[in-house]
Structure 1
Amino acid sequence: MSSLQEEYFACLALRYTPGLGPKSWGPILRHYPTAYDGLKDAVNWHSLKLASEKSSKAAQNEEWRPKAEKEYREAMRLEFGILPWTHPLFPDLLKELADPPTCLYYFGDPKLLSNPSVGIVGSRNSGRLGMEYASRLAADLSKSGLTITSGFAKGIDSCAHEAALHGVGSTIAVLGTGLDVDSYPPDSDWLRRRVLESGLIISEFPPGTKPFARNFPFRNRLISGLSIGVVVVEAEIASGSLVTARLAGEQGREVMAMPGPSGDKSFAGCLKLIKEGAALVETADDVLMNIRHALDIEDISGQKSVAGAERKLPVKRDDKSSSPKAEDPAKNEPAVPAFDIDSLEPPEYDIAKALKSGGKLHIDEIARAAGFDVSVAGAVILGMEVNGMVVRFPGMYYDLRC
């Protein structure tokens, strides 16, 4: 088991230890260098006031193992991208939360998690005006280099995701389901495909988790937790978006709202937030002014190379269908891997040789060329990815880092 897999498995062990929850995972994970170190030292949790004696004994007795092993095998089978707590791309902003996730699952470009983000949320049953507001705001902020984070629901969320994909900042969709549950919300396949191609989809929930109502407050805390500030675009008084706004305030994030027309009930929740102290915003410039204290000038100038700019790489698979272009002689020279393949041991050596011979390949092709089952190849590639030897592209394509 690679170090990434070991750490991931330890994170699952913490999640499934009886008596532990989001507010007790954090202190344990922050106390030790790694989740694995924390799990090995479970005998001392109670004396260190990290957990109850009962939870400490449950961890020592490995009461977590059946559920952890089940989720581990399923995530490997489904070839999820995995970011355990100690992964370099696991967001520091989430580590600051009182109730952080132990790990994140993803499809898409995880480097977007390193980019400054603004959350845009609002009504599922939004009107034309609210959708126009969300689209314009998301597009303008994304063009400024900010990543737009939202909850992949119908209405305002979907408008924000779609518009943000046109800018360099792109978008992060936070699910209230398992990463593999692609039937929710209904009729969202087109948007899911677009986000997978050039954005990021994440979830903290186990594979197969259905869209239960109890999941969405947990999702909402990640939307606000990942963001420098949260904008509520259109929301009634009872809207769940106000929960996200409340969580943002509790997490120390900037809370903003768009006012909407006077007397419009669909914006009553926004007006309530403004009366309670949320910043009134109408344009991307208003948002930037309110979050400027949390950004470097380069972050909002559009001059800095942000993570989103690298999303163009997967498009190369479609070059054959594009119009002819002058050929760059340098492209005829074989790419040189950033490491010595011959210094590797099997099975990493076999995977690297397959990629060197075939170039960017799908996981199925890599497994076939290297002579492994897909599940085994996926586990090996995860370790190579975290060690900087392999680059992952959307759609489960991989190549050697050169």
Structure 2
Amino acid sequence: MAAIHWLQLALTAGLGPVLIRRLVEAAGGAEAATAAGETLLRGVEGIGPGRASRIAPALRAARDAAARQADAAARLGVALLCPDDPAYPTLLAEIDDAPPILFVRGRIEPRDLNAVAVVGSRRCSHYGREQAERFAAGLAASGVTIVSGGARGVDSAAHRGALRHPHGRTLAVLGCGVDIVYPPENQELFSQIAARGALLSEFPIGAGPAPENFPRRNRIISGLSRGVLIVEGDERSGAMITARLAGDDHGRGVFALPGRVDNPMARGPHLLIRDGATLVASPADLLEALDPLPDSVDRPTGAGLFDAAADPPALPEEPAEPFAVIGELQRRILDAIDAEECPIERIIERSGLEAAVVVREITFLSIKGLVRRVGGQVYARRRNPA
């Protein structure tokens, strides 16, 4: 099993993700890397003679620790994913410091390639919590997997929003072992996430939520995602770290939600907008601005929205509230839209509603997955609306 060798490397003192990748390349594989002696280690960029003398015995010492961790994972039903595994997340594998091992409680699916991170402050406002849930619910209704960090505040709201839809999926990247519930009040939420997505961590079974773990896990949140939405956070928040990683290191889209100018938690998103992040006011805004996947990434057959203009996947079952309920104004707008593409001017004329009302309500219909924007101000019904 290749994962046991990557796990041994991950547990070796003195090795991090970048050095592990270089060592595996130099040795010709993970199994050979676990048996590396000082001579091979000295030739790896970033190790050198001094560190090689310490890492060589540490590699041997990590063998038993890896076996214990593998046994613990098996007892808990936790999967181990390594870069040699076809199920290892494709986008995550593209970052320079991808984790050599992922502990997975739940399941990663091919459609999770179409993921967006929704992150923000633990000390968010009611507005921030409300908007995180709204965006996550709307994106999940369009076939997007929601990635966040499982923390209090915006993260938990994002996970809950994704789970509001019967087909919604969400991934939580933890700053502790996947067997640890932190924060403790998220016990039920984590169980739901494991059933409808996955809890992920690079930290071993039993690892507690050390403060230094959380900034480190932010690169995984960004690495898993096609884009990152910052809902709320001050200038020093972990969400800002995630945004900078996404934009500067990973080449992913960065989106920011504007807030009140007198709210300290809006300073982070406002700074990002000033520096070039895309301002979004609705899930439809984000979907329209989302970049296509890189050409180097294989798109799984039948997966959902892998290009910005593609249709979300049809949802075969009756959706739960609030997506099944539309008001009288929205019904008039739906009735005014042809089976084919329909300019907004025609929708306004046919519905008899004011332009501002149509623009507002059609956004909600997009969030509910009932209409889609074809281009500019042209809309069409979903082919198989829920």
Q: Say yes or no: TM over 0.5.
A: yes
Q: Return the offset for 1:31.
A: 5.6
2:238 aligned to which of 240, 243, 248: 240
SS in 2 for 1:63: helix
State the Cα deviation string for residues 341-393 of structure 1 (Å, max 9, x = none): xxxxxxxxxxxxxxxxxxxxxxxxxxxxxxxxxxxxxxxxxxxxxxxxxxxxx
- In structure 2, the partner of 1:11 is 6
2:42 corresponds in structure 1 to 46
Alpha-carbon distance in 2 for matches of 1:123, 1:298: 28
Deviation, structure 1 residue 169: 4.3
Q: Deviations over 1:135-159 (max 9, x none)?
A: 1111111111110000001111111
Q: Is the 2:116–2:144 contact (alpha carbons within 8 Å) kept by the matching residues of 1?
A: yes
Which residue in the other structure is 1:215 paired with?
213
Q: What's the CA shift for 1:93?
A: 2.0
Q: CA RMSD in A?
A: 2.6
How many angstroms apart in 1 are the aligned matches of 2:4 and 2:63? 9
CA contact (8 A) 1:89 1:114 kept: no
| Structure 2 SS opposite 1:202 | strand
**C-alpha distance in structure 1 between counterparts of 2:287 and 2:262, whole Å:** 27
Higher RCO, 1 vs 2 (CA within 8 Å, ≥6 residues apart) = 1
Question: Can you give the 5+ residue segments of structure 1 that lack an aligned partner in the other structure?
Answer: 311-402
Provide the residue aligned with 1:127 in structure 2.
125
Deviations for 1:161-195, whole angstroms, at most 9, x for unmatched residues? Answer: 0111233341001110111112x102112211211
Report how many aligned residue pairs link the two structures: 301
Is contact 1:172–1:200 with CA below 8 Å preserved after alignment?
yes
Q: 1:302 aligns with which of 296, 299, 312?
A: 312
Letter in 1 for 2:254: V
- Percent identity at matched positions? 36
| Contact persistence 1:112–1:200 (CA under 8 A) | no
Q: 34-43 vs 187-196, which deviates more?
A: 34-43
Larger proportion of helix: 1
For residues 75-117 of structure 1, give each alpha carbon's deviation from its aligned partner in whole angstroms, at most 9, with x where no partner exists. 2333321112211111122222222211111111221674311
On the 8 A contact 2:24/2:32 being kept in 1, the answer is no
State TM-score, norm by structure 2.
Answer: 0.71
Query: Are 2:142 and 1:144 equivalent residues in the alignment?
Result: yes
Paired residue for 1:105?
A: 103
The equivalent residue for 2:269 is 270
Q: 1:304 to 1:82 in 2, by over 3 A?
A: farther
Amino acid in the other structure paired with 1:198: R
2:36–2:56 CA contact under 8 A, matched in 1: no
| 1:155 matched residue in structure 2 | 153
Q: CA deviation at 1:303?
A: 3.1
What one-letter code is carried by the residue in structure 2 that aligns with 1:208? G
Look up the match of 2:18: 23
1:134/1:211 CA distance change after superposition, 3 Å:
same
Q: 1:205 aligns with which of 191, 203, 206?
A: 203
Output aligned runs, 1:381-392, within 5 Å.
Answer: none
Unpaired runs of at least 5, structure 2: 294-304, 318-386
DSSP 3-state at the match of 1:102:
coil
The TM-score, its normalising length taken from structure 1, stands at: 0.68
> Taking structure 1 as reference, are residues 97 and 297 closer, same or farther at Cα in structure 2, changes over 3 Å only?
closer
Indicate how the Cα distance of structure 1 residues 72 and 285 shifts in structure 2: closer, same or farther if over 3 A, else same: same
Corresponding residue for 1:89? 87
